Homo-oligomer: A and B are copies of this chain.
Amino acid sequence: MKSTWVTEITDQARKEGRLSLTEAESKSLLSLYGIPVVEEATAVSEDDAIAQSREIGLPVVLKGLGARLIHKTERGLVKVNLKSDDEVRQAYRHIKDAAGEDWEACLIQPFIEGNREFAAGLIRDPQFGPSVMFGLGGILTEALSDVTFRIAPLDEIQARSMLDEIRACKLLGAFRGEAEVDKKQLIQVLMSLSRLGMDHPEIREIDINPFIVMPDGSVRAVDALVVLANAEEIPVAIEVIDDRNMEREKEIRAALDVMMHARSIAVLGATVPRPNFPGIFECVRRFGFNGRLYPVNPRGQDYNGIKFYSSLSSLPEKVDLVIVSIPAPLVPEALRECVATGNRNVHIFTAGFKETGEEEGLRLQAEIEKIAREGGLHVVGPNCMGFYVPASRMLTWTDASKESGPVSFVSQSGGNAQDFTHYLSSIYNIHFSKCISFGNALTLDSCDFIDYLSHDEDTKIITMYLEGVKDGSRLLRQVREISRRKPVILYKSGLTESGARAVSSHTGSMAGGEKIWKAFFRQTGAIPVDSLEEMADVTLAVHHIRAAHGRKTTVLGIGGGNGVAVADSCARAGLELPAFSPDLVSKLRNSIGIDGSMIKNPIDSVIAFTSLPVMGETLELLAQSGEIDNFIISMSLDWLTLKKEESGTYAETVATYLVEEGQGHTHGKPLIAVLRQYQPDPTTQKSIPLVEKILLSGGIPVYKSLSQAVSALSKLVTYNASIVEESQARLIQR
């Protein structure tokens, strides 16, 4: 609900040429939104200051007030703990002198004592819009940058989670004889800032610092700054999800569906394949596209009985998808032809546009964007690899698995589209439903693809590689909604970029890209990963396990590799490696026997591997105890492949046992295998893919290192917890 008073006061300030409100105005504005501020009075004479001070009650604080007065502390314009008329008078004189021409009045407040100071604020992130900050306050705010962000709008659960996230969260509890902070009040403050940000686009930034915690735990804003947007920065209207948007989304979904299941494709710029350079037309053909495929090239030469067409208009039909693979300068004309012939679905493979960062590329991109928008084209690209849809036998690069699977991938990079689809299917034997490489996002952006996939029944897991995003708010809304039904695994690169921007508030100076994206992940439940390899690791865990709900983990292995270092790996990943109860230890000791084994967590036991029923019993006892949520079997391959069996190496026997028997002993709790291997012995090398195949076909995730395994598992546990939290939030809202 927009406040008329706020609009008036901000209009007034701007009329006066100011881009910030005075402290008094700022606090009135916050007060209006229910944020507790210290009471205050203004005085323009010494006697008035003394009278007001008496009214408020000594001791008081005096500050300079003026439209041009910011950074008051640094200028010596704040005098605290004034205990007598005399001290008030001296302070008044000092401030008035020091402020010089900028002085308009003195602000008088009660002197609030409290040892704990926090800060809260609002910024507008260029990608995500209004975002709320909370953190350590006082003089340390910027020196320590102990702050956390959430993208508006926020609900109560999200606001509460901010409080636990700062390093100084201990200060929120009872502290040195002072009461626990009134968290309800703080949460209301953060939600009010969120509302302010949503209601008033004309407000660019807000700083509240410090927020003093009084000995009784209540909080009070002692200083505040509201920064206004330049007129040209103010969004014309905050986007609303209206019927027109819904219609547009529906239309794009339908168009994408036609493209993904194309029955006819035209390739502009098709060429006769050369060795090592098949060309995009030949790629599509070789992968076995079984619709109607038209090579278009006025200079094309028929080959293998394939007839070339000279232009789109010479085709016998309008096609489901036009693939543009011609030099960049020719693309505008080609798009005009698409518009003219009513071929509206286009994938532009060609590069040489905005991504070059050079003038000609930027100009060309602007030109084709205009043609596409005016002509109502649905464009994937330019500068992208396009589509991979195994069920439609559609592939616009050289090679990929022909099997279909539950994963879809949306990638801003064409290289990553190829690499990740290869990697996941060949290393982990998990296959794809759809993969879209979309490059420069001329008309269709990540959000459009995500929207399509969220409605796609064949897609169970969504993976994404993003460098930037055009409409952060929409992405946030979408991913938050989708995550509840389908896990979204997101590799966002460029997190460490220094996001140098002009900001006027302390809050703004601390809002780097990494902090805002952290908020994005926290608020949407999307699973963050830092590389394609890690994206595959997490996909593997999500695909095979899904129901992982606790952090208490045990590792069963052999020898030196299963000692102290295991605890380090678990601790770094955020999993627990709890000590077993004495009762459980004695049960395990009975089962495993005395010799050589270390009956503690991690378990180091040769016998559990040489006698597989002992492994089964061990898993069973651990599962029954209720002390363990997750089971990791660490297989020392250099050793387990030494022993040969009729059917292969003993490692394969262990893998088969885990699939056929072992899994049954964990009572439905996650079981993961880790392969340890340091010696490239030929037998071992030959056995590894066999062991992996046995485990993966049996639904057991298998990793090459413990750190990969525990990191993937921990992220899955976090994801599941976020789903629970989100359902709670929805329940409360009802």
A residues sitting closer than 8 Å to B (CB atoms) are: 73-76, 81, 83, 115-116, 136, 139-140, 142-146, 167-168, 170-171, 175-177, 276, 351-352, 355-357, 399, 413-420, 422-423, 426-427, 467, 493-497, 530-533, 558-565, 567-568, 571-572, 596, 598, 600, 636, 638, 642-643, 676, 678-680, 705, 707
Contacts and interface: CB of A to CB of B under 8 A. Distances in A.
A171 B140 contact: yes
A191 to B, nearest CB: 25
A564 B494 CA distance: 5
Q: Which of A170, A355, A565 has the most CB of B within 10 A?
A: A565
A426 B176 contact: no
B414 A560 contact: yes
Determine how many copies of this chain the complex contains: 2
A679 B531 contact: no
Contacts of A170: 142-143
A88 to B, nearest CB: 14
B533 A679 contact: no
A531 B565 contact: yes
A568 B495 contact: yes
Contact of A143 (B171, B352, B417, B493): B171
A199 B624 CA distance: 56
Given A493-B568, A567-B497, A531 B561 contact: no
A704 to B, nearest CB: 10
Contacts of A357: 600
Contact of A146 (B144, B413, B423): B144
Contacts of A75: 177
Given A83-B83, A560-B416, A679-B399, A533 B705 contact: yes
Given A171-B140, A467-B563, A560-B415, A678 B643 contact: no
Given A171-B140, A276-B642, A564 B467 contact: yes
A533 B678 CA distance: 9
Contacts of A642: 276
Nearest to A139: B115
B416 A568 contact: no
Contact of A422 (B81, B532, B563, B679): B679
Given A145-B167, A414-B560, A533-B705, 4 more contacts: A83-B83, A355-B598, A413-B561, A495-B568
A171 B142 CA distance: 10
A90 to B, nearest CB: 12
A563 B494 CA distance: 9
A419 B643 contact: no
B426 A680 contact: yes
A177 to B, nearest CB: 5
Contacts of A427: 680
Contacts of A356: 598
A356 B418 CA distance: 51
A531 B642 CA distance: 24
Contacts of A352: 596
A696 to B, nearest CB: 14
A153 to B, nearest CB: 30
A74 B561 CA distance: 47
Contacts of A676: 419
Given A494-B567, A533-B705, A567-B494, A638 B176 contact: no
A596 B678 contact: no
A422 B568 contact: no
A690 B76 CA distance: 70
Contacts of A176: 73-74, 139
A730 to B, nearest CB: 34
Contacts of A559: 414-415
A86 B680 CA distance: 83
A468 to B, nearest CB: 9
Contacts of A467: 563-564
A167 B139 contact: no
A423 B168 contact: no
Contacts of A418: 560, 638, 678
B168 A416 contact: no
Contacts of A643: 276
A493 B563 contact: yes
A170 B136 CA distance: 16
Contact of A419 (B140, B494, B678, B707): B678
A678 B494 contact: no
A348 to B, nearest CB: 16
Contacts of A420: 678
A681 to B, nearest CB: 8
Contacts of A145: 167
A493 B564 contact: yes
A533 B351 CA distance: 39
A107 B252 CA distance: 77
Nearest to A416: B560
Contacts of A497: 564, 567
Contacts of A351: 596
Contacts of A531: 565, 705, 707
A415 B493 contact: no
A140 to B, nearest CB: 7
Nearest to A679: B422
A171 to B, nearest CB: 5
Contacts of A638: 418-419, 422
B679 A423 contact: yes
Contacts of A177: 73-76
Nearest to A437: B560
A568 B494 contact: yes
28 contacts: A76-B177, A81-B81, A139-B175, A139-B176, A140-B168, A142-B170, A143-B167, A143-B171, A144-B146, A355-B598, A356-B598, A357-B600, A399-B679, A413-B560, A413-B563, A415-B558, A416-B561, A419-B676, A420-B678, A422-B678, A422-B679, A426-B679, A467-B564, A494-B564, A494-B565, A496-B567, A497-B564, A531-B707
A642 B274 CA distance: 13
